[in-house]
Amino acid sequence: MGVAFALLIMLTLGAAGVYLLLNILKNLKPGRAKIQSDLAIMKAELQPLVSDLVPWSKEEMEQLSLNQINRKANRGVATTIKGVFTTIYHEPVIAWAYKKYVSPKENALVYARTTAHEFIFRIKNGEVEIVANNKLMGTLDANGVLRPAKGVKLLAQINRQTEALMLPVQVNGKQVGSLTNPEKSGQTNPRAFQMIAPMGQEEEEVFLSLGVLEMVKRGI
């Protein structure tokens, strides 16, 4: 009986070890097929939350807060987190999901939705490739500089180095607004953005992409 029990324990531990190893390998250096598969899963899991979002408008953008609801986290071999950002009036406006893969440096995928925007952020090698509404916007480097998919000119920049309450954002060479630094805000439900200059549709999309990414990364 004792020998049989010992063998059973060894087999169980062996199976658990194999499962853990396979799970690690599955989430180590994910290729394009794995990323697309995980993206499809994210979209499906977020759909019930997306269905409850309030229609997006400039008013919702101005009233967007750092408050989150429906937040769920699974910190296993690969960390997965999802949630919904609300307005200062607690209306759900942005649903998002984050997955971190097995890597010594951040290797992750972020998906975010409003009723009018879809953002995909691929974080790898210290950079973030940003896709907005099925269009490759550009690559954000570790210094907060966003360059377009084609060309080397500066598209936008977020100043993450400041210790101030607000993180300034420039789009096409002009400061259009700032993002609230959640680490410096003492409010319980602060606005996420401070608008400074009028923005066209493309400028708003760029500003929002940087804002959403910053909110997710600082909120995970």
* Single-letter code of the amino acid located at 203: E
* pLDDT, mean over the chain: 87
Predicted pLDDT of residue 209: 97
- φ and ψ of 55, to 5 deg: -50, 135
- Give the residue extent of every domain in the chain: 30-219
Contacts 24+ apart (CB under 8 A), 111-116: 111/39, 111/42, 111/43, 111/46, 112/212, 112/216, 113/46, 113/50, 113/53, 114/53, 114/56, 114/60, 115/50, 115/53, 115/54, 115/55, 115/56, 116/55, 116/56
Q: How far apart are CA 168 and CA 170, in angstroms?
A: 7
- Which portions of the chain are predicted below pLDDT 70? 1-28, 152
Predicted pLDDT of residue 144: 93
**pTM for the model:** 0.86
Q: How far apart are CA 48 and CA 201, in angstroms?
A: 27
Predicted pLDDT of residue 156: 95
* Single-letter code of the amino acid located at 34: K
Predicted pLDDT of residue 103: 87
Q: Are 155 and 146 in contact, with CB atoms under 8 Å apart?
A: yes
Q: Which string of DSSP letters, residue by residue, matches 86-138? A: EETT--EEEEEEEEE-B-SS--EEEEEE-SS-EEEEEEETTEEEEEETTEEEE
**Neighbouring residues of 152: CB distance < 8 A, sequence distance ≥ 6:** none
- φ and ψ of 106, to 5 deg: -60, 120
Mark 122-142 as b/e (b = at least 16 C-beta within 10 Å): bbbeeebebbbeeeebbbbee
